[in-house]
């Protein structure tokens, strides 16, 4: 039994080292909800990956804050918690709000790993000692700047380059990149920027030998992605559309995609992420771990998740320094010359969370405490 004594939630504000542009907008700094669980002298953390605006999905930090404060944290403090895997049951009555739920559930898994004195990766069922890494490169002001960025990331060792794209920033970009680097693993991510009128246009990308095209159509669609997948050779990868194991099953069954991006926040926590991983593995569909511009807290959790066996393609989990002047964990996440991150073997997440640094960045906070327990 995991007895939670106190639950702290806080918002930190952190400027990004480089602005990040997708088809839905530019992010220059992050407002991030962090949760912290105190239990019998141990401390565990979770990060909510909801954005500043409801543009990637319908959640945002302010909705996550209110749901956490009024619905989720009270259920966590009142509930009987056996393990991280028992948390989704406590939250079942609350519909949606998966990113908010994930932050709390993942903190409980982090706590459970500490109690069991094992690594979080081991607790989740991970087997990989290192994880293969790629980078997601935002839309750039000019093609020249994009080419420079790609050169830098390849030099650093990253195994796969993913280009954010949108109408007007696609074919000519892929063509220029392929001309200079004919053989690299290259993919694109549209974040739902295309429509049915674009099918013929998207079909012309087959010539660029992309590893995958991520979420070209509507964020909530399977059917039209399956129509598109019939028309193109390039593998479709779904990100936004996959909210849970059932969605993964439906998408695989309808042949809406051949690859799945798993983001633990998008599916509501480690339990569902493992379920999506397993259902994809059983059906021969490779997965990879997506990123949401996380701080070290969420990044450490992504590394642990990526150690599961079917995370066979390079993920969007990359070095702290690509996002932050100074991360909030120690050591910060680094990537080897081979483009790999070592999966920590120490107890818990394997990283130290820098509380003093977090205090400096905190702009609001709220604490809930457990009611006095009756001990036998
Ligand atoms: O679609 O994968 C995405 C960032 C914010 C919102 C959505 C996405 C992304 C990324 C960045 O691609 C991945 C990362 O480096 O964290
Ligand atoms: Mg994506």
Catalytic residues: 164, 263
Q: What does DSSP say about strands 236-238 and 212-214: parallel, antiparallel, or unpaired? A: parallel
Dump pLDDT digits (tens) for 80-92.
999 999 999 999 9
Q: Determine the Cα–Cα distance for residues 250 and 279; give it in Å rounded to an integer.
A: 11
Contact between 276 and 308 (Cβ < 8 Å): no
What's the CA-to-centroid distance between 189 and ligand 2, angstroms? 6
Ligand nearest to C-alpha 236: 2
Closest-lying ligand 1 atom to the alpha carbon of residue 135: 15
Q: How far apart are CA 45 and CA 355, in angstroms?
A: 11
pLDDT on residue 375: 59
The ligand with the least distance to the CA atom of 291 is 1
- How far is the centre of ligand 1, averaged over its atoms, from the C-alpha of 78 (Å)? 34
Ligand 1 center from residue 145 Cα (angstroms): 19
Strand order in the sheet with 362-369: 42-48, 25-39, 6-22, 362-369
Q: What is the pLDDT of residues 60-69, one digit of tens each?
A: 999 999 999 9
Residues found in the chain: 376
Residue 243 is predicted with a pLDDT of 98
Mean pLDDT of the 209-238 span: 98
**Nearest 5°: phi and psi at 87?**
-70, -40
Cα 213 from Cα 340, distance rounded (Å): 23
Q: Which atom of ligand 1 is nearest to the CA of 318?
A: 15
For residue 376, the model assigns a pLDDT of 53
Please tell me the residue having the least CA distance from ligand 1 atom 5: 292
293 lines ligand 1 (CB under 6 A): yes
Residue 133 CA to ligand 1 center (angstroms) comes to 14
Reported as a single tens digit per residue, the pLDDT across 337-354 is 999 999 999 999 999 999
pLDDT tens-place string over residues 273-288: 999 999 999 999 999 9
Q: Whose CA is nearest to atom 13 of ligand 1?
A: 291
Name every residue whose Cβ is closer than 8 Å to that of residue 11 and which is 6 or more positions away in sequence: 31, 32, 33, 34, 61, 65, 362, 363, 364, 365
CB of 136 within 6 A of ligand 1: the answer is yes
Preceding omega of 232 cis (within 30 degrees of 0): no
Give the confidence band of 371 by pLDDT, cuts at 50, 70, 90: confident
Helix (H) or strand (E) holding 367: strand 362-369
In DSSP terms, which residues pair with 44 in a beta bridge?
37
Q: Please say whether the beta carbons of 11 and 363 come within 8 A.
A: yes
| The pair of three-digit structure tokens given for residue 102, joined into one six-digit string | 């994930």
Q: pLDDT value at position 374?
A: 63
pLDDT tens for each residue of 105-132? 999 999 999 999 999 999 999 999 999 9
290 Cα nearest atom in ligand 1: 2
Average pLDDT, the chain: 97
Query: So what's the pLDDT on residue 129?
Result: 98
**pTM of this structure:** 0.97
- CA-closest residue to ligand 1 atom 14: 291
CA dist 82 → 12, 18, 87, 335, 349 (Å): 30, 41, 8, 35, 19
Please provide residue 327's backbone torsions phi and psi, each rounded to the nearest 5 degrees. Answer: -80, 175
Phi first, then psi: give them for residue 10, nearest 5 degrees: -150, 155
322 CA closest ligand 1 atom index: 15
Residue 32 CA, ligand 1 centroid: distance in Å: 15
Please report which ligand is nearest the Cα atom of 292.
1
Per-residue tokens: 298: 């969420």
CB of 242 closer than 6 angstroms to any ligand 1 atom: no
Query: Any bridge partners for residue 330, and if so which?
Result: 352
Instruction: Report whether residue 59 contacts ligand 1, using a CB cutoff of 6 Å.
Output: no
pLDDT at 372: 78
Whether 47 is in the pocket of ligand 1, judged by its Cβ within 6 Å, is: no
């Amino acid at each position: 039994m995991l007895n939670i004594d106190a639950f702290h939630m806080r918002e930190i504000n952190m400027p990004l080292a480089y602005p990040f542009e997708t088809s839905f907008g530019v992010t220059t700094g992050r407002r991030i909800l962090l949760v912290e669980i105190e239990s019998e002298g141990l401390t565990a953390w979770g990060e909510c990956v909801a954005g500043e605006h409801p543009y990637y999905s319908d959640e945002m930090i302010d909705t996550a804050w209110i749901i956490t404060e009024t619905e989720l944290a009270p259920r966590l403090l009142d509930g009987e918690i056996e393990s991280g895997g028992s948390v989704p049951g406590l939250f079942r009555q609350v519909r949606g709000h998966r990113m908010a739920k994930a932050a709390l559930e993942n903190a409980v898994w982090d706590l459970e790993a500490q109690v069991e004195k094992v690594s979080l990766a081991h607790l989740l069922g991970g087997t990989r000692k290192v994880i293969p890494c790629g980078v997601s490169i935002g839309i750039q002001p000019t093609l020249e700047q994009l080419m420079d960025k790609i050169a830098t990331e390849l030099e650093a060792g990253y195994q796969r380059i993913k280009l954010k794209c949108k109408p007007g920033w696609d074919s000519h970009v892929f063509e220029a990149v392929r001309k200079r680097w004919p053989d690299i693993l290259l993919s694109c991510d549209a974040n739902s920027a295309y429509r049915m009128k674009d099918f013929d246009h998207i079909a012309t990308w087959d010539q660029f030998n992309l590893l995958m095209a991520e979420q070209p159509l509507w964020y909530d669609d399977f059917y039209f992605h399956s129509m598109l997948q019939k028309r193109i050779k390039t593998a479709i990868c779904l990100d936004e559309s996959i909210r849970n194991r059932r969605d993964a099953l439906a998408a695989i069954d309808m042949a809406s995609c051949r690859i799945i991006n798993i983001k633990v926040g998008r599916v509501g926590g480690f339990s569902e992420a493992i379920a999506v991983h397993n259902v994809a593995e059983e059906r021969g569909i490779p997965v990879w771990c997506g990123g949401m511009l996380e701080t070290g807290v969420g990044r450490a959790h992504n590394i642990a998740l990526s150690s599961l066996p079917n995370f066979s393609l390079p993920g969007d989990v990359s070095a702290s320094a690509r996002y932050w002047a100074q991360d909030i964990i120690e050591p910060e996440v680094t990537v080897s010359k081979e483009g790999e991150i070592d999966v920590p073997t120490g107890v818990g997440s394997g990283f130290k969370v820098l509380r003093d640094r977090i205090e400096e960045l905190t702009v609001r906070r709220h604490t809930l405490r457990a009611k006095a327990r009756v001990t036998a």
